[in-house]
Amino acid sequence: MSKKEIATDQLIAEIIKGIEEVKGLDIEILDLREIENTVCDYFIICNGTSNTQVNAIVNSVQKHVSKTLQEKPWHIEGSDNAEWILMDYVHIVVHVFQKHIREFYDIEGLWGDARTVKIETTY
């Protein structure tokens, strides 16, 4: 395993921990590496029940990744209305939605060729 793969796996693990800490729902990882001309290697998608929870998920992910890996997102978009916040970690893009917005945009359907892993949560 290369250093990049190890770093990517660690980043994914910390992002998932951050989402789970504040009970983010319906967590999915889309592996985009086999698809040509993608902007990143992975999408991590989840949703919250309100804009308050969406903001809490984003803050928790930032805290976990920063504390453990000393990484910060390259860019964050959508914090103003907190219906869909995108966190860009260059090789990994995190999408945090409110449920109705996630259903409307259906990113999983748009990227149907990607290998998908659903993360089972116990809450």
Q: Residue 1: its pLDDT value, please?
A: 61
Q: Residue 123: its pLDDT value, please?
A: 85
Give the pTM.
Answer: 0.94
Mean pLDDT (the chain, rounded): 94
- Sheet (strand 42-48) strand order: 75-77, 84-88, 92-98, 42-48, 25-31, 115-118
CATH 1.10.10.10 fits 3-118, yes or no: no
- Contacting residues for 61 by C-beta, under 8 A, at least 6 apart: 14, 15, 18, 19, 87, 94, 96
**Each residue's pLDDT tens digit, 39-80:** 999 999 999 999 999 999 999 999 999 999 999 999 999 999
